[in-house]
């Protein structure tokens, strides 16, 4: 049973610190009420305004009447044999998004979604097949940490966040940035900026804006070494080709204190995994301090590609490694519950009717690659 959503009340999960300060000032309260509320919400896990004892009685009463703390509802919870956990969260209008927790020895990473579905038609990603429905609100994004941390209990902490779930985070800029600010705020989750990573397919203007406005780690989904192939794999490349993408990466490196970008490269058999392409990758990135994260392709129903063989991945990795590039191969986690990269589908009322269009395209044998 879903709890009724009280649409008349203001959901306090929707504000970062600045937003909360403005909210309280508007009420005639002091701005420091914002940090008090943040602590109750994110550090003390208190949801009953009456228990927020450092607030005045009249403010507690006001909050009780006009505000709420409403995280997304869990509709399905799953745990993989390797300990990876996945929650399908019910959003409004029957949509679902997925959030994945990946436990490792020294850290616990939460993979967070930014949109219901995705508008970018990357041909190797199952979220793309679902089409796009809408942006998630700040409350729905930070709500994923809120719900997951609650489910994990005190024994396991979320130490890292990657915006690598469903959606393109830079196409939902304001809500994603507000949520990432809460992740890094000492009065909320207090994660260091090295532990909060945004991954983008290359929305170039938003990359420049991000560099100016929010200091987090940047990962860029590269996947190809020339425009011809990238136009197919990551179609937003038709709008922002490699030259422009790499200029935005250089700008980020120049202006960010970490001075390094992680590139993601999905390994597709016979498509982008040759030694020649590894060498071309080195040439392409020679003037950008880079780390490379090779992602073995995770298949999904009706996917067009196959994963490169372990030998091909290793050959590719060795070329980069021997040239001095820090290169990791992403370990596939949570495969038995479809929680791996690119397998998140949720349940989307597809506004772009992408699934229908794809069905038509495949039935008329239109070559897609
Ligand atoms: N839209 C953002 C974040 C989404 S996904 C982006 O494009 O970066 C996070 C990573 O998983 C991206 O690098 C994406 O390209 C990759 N990915 C998507 N589908 C995949 C699949 N089936 N197998 C492996 N990696 C995949």
Closest ligand 1 atom to Cα of 303: 22
- Whether 190 contacts 35, CB under 8 Å: no
Q: What is the mean pLDDT of residues 176-190?
A: 98
Closest ligand 1 atom to Cα of 166: 4
Q: At 327, is the secondary structure helix, strand, or coil?
A: strand
Query: What's the CA gap between 49 and 67, in Å, rounded?
Result: 9
- CA of residue 58 to ligand 1 center, whole Å: 48
**What would the pLDDT profile of 257-273 be if each residue is shown by its tens digit?**
777 999 999 999 999 99
- Tokens 């509802």 correspond to 73
- Whether 147 contacts 89, CB under 8 Å: yes
Residue 367 has pLDDT above 80, yes or no: no
Q: What is the mean pLDDT of residues 344-351?
A: 62
In what helix (H) or strand (E) does residue 317 lie, and over which residues does it extend? helix 310-322
**What would the pLDDT profile of 239-262 be if each residue is shown by its tens digit?**
999 999 999 999 999 998 777 999
- CA of residue 6 to ligand 1 center, whole Å: 35
Q: Which residues line ligand 1 (CB under 6 A)?
A: 122, 124-125, 164, 168, 199-201, 221, 264, 266, 295, 297-298, 341-342
Residue 186 has pLDDT above 70, yes or no: yes
Q: Is the pTM of this model over 0.85?
A: yes
Q: Give every CB contact of residue 123 below 8 A, 6+ residues apart in sequence.
A: 232, 233, 235, 304, 305, 368, 369
Strands of the sheet with 73-79, listed across from one edge = 73-79, 85-90, 96-103, 108-111, 160-163, 196-200, 217-221, 261-267, 290-296, 326-329
Closest by Cα among 325, 264, 302, 309 to 129:
302
Task: Report residue 252: phi and psi, to 5°.
Answer: -65, -45
Query: What's the CA gap between 14 and 320, in Å, rounded?
Result: 43
Ligand 1: residue of 342, 345, 346 to mutate (most ligand atoms within 8 A of CB) is: 342
Q: At 130, is the secondary structure helix, strand, or coil?
A: coil
What is the rounded end-to-end Cα distance, in angstroms, of the chain? 44
Report the catalytic residues: 98, 341
CA-proximal residue: ligand 1, atom 3 (nearest): 164
pLDDT of residue 354: 66
Q: Give the confidence band of 289 by pLDDT, cuts at 50, 70, 90.
A: very high
pLDDT of residue 221: 98
CA-proximal residue: ligand 1, atom 13 (nearest): 221
- Whether 37 contacts 23, CB under 8 Å: no
- Whether 113 contacts 144, CB under 8 Å: yes
- CA of residue 111 to ligand 1 center, whole Å: 11
Ligand 1: residue of 99, 141, 164 to mutate (most ligand atoms within 8 A of CB) is: 164
In what helix (H) or strand (E) does residue 109 lie, and over which residues does it extend? strand 108-111
Beta bridge partners of 326: 291
Query: What's the CA gap between 182 and 360, in Å, rounded?
Result: 43
Closest ligand 1 atom to Cα of 168: 1
- Tokens 């590609």 correspond to 305
> Domains in the chain, ordered, with CATH?
10-68 (1.10.150.530), 91-361 (3.20.20.70)
CA-proximal residue: ligand 1, atom 11 (nearest): 341
- Whether 60 contacts 49, CB under 8 Å: yes
């Amino acid at each position: 049973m879903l709890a009724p959503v009280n649409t008349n009340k203001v959901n306090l999960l929707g504000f970062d610190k600045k937003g909360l300060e403005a909210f309280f000032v508007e009420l005639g309260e002091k701005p420091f009420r914002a940090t008090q509320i943040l602590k109750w919400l994110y550090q003390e896990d208190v949801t009953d305004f009456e228990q927020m004892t450092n607030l005045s009685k009249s403010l507690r009463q006001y909050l009780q009447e006009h505000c709420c703390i409403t995280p997304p509802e869990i509709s399905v919870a799953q745990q993989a044999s390797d300990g990876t956990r996945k929650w399908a969260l019910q959003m409004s209008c029957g949509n679902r998004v997925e959030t994945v927790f990946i436990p490792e020895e020294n850290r616990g990473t939460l993979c967070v979604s930014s949109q219901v579905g995705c508008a970018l038609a990357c041909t190797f990603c199952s979220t793309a097949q679902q089409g796009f429905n809408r942006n998630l609100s700040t409350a729905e994004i930070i709500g994923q940490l809120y719900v997951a941390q609650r489910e994990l209990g005190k024994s396991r902490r979320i130490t890292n966040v990657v915006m690598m779930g469903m959606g393109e985070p830079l196409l939902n800029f304001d809500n994603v940035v507000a949520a990432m600010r809460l992740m890094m705020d000492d009065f909320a989750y207090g994660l260091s900026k090295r532990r909060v990573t945004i991954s983008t397919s290359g929305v170039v203007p938003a990359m420049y804006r991000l560099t100016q406005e929010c200091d987090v780690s940047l990962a860029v989904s590269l996947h190809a070494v020339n425009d011809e192939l990238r136009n197919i794999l990551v179609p937003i490349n038709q709008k922002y080709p490699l030259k422009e993408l790499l200029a935005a990466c250089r700008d980020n490196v120049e202006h960010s204190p970490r001075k390094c970008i992680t590139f993601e490269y999905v390994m597709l058999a016979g498509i982008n995994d040759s030694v020649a392409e590894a060498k071309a990758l080195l040439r392409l990135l020679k003037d950008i301090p880079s780390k490379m994260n090779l992602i073995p392709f995770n298949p999904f129903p009706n996917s067009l590609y196959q994963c490169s063989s372990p030998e091909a991945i290793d050959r590719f990795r060795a070329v980069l490694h021997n040239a001095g590039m820090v290169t990791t191969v992403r370990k596939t986690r949570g495969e038995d519950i479809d929680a791996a990269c690119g397998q998140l589908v949720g349940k989307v009322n597809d506004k772009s009717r992408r699934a229908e269009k794809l069905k038509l395209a495949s039935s008329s044998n239109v070559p897609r690659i």
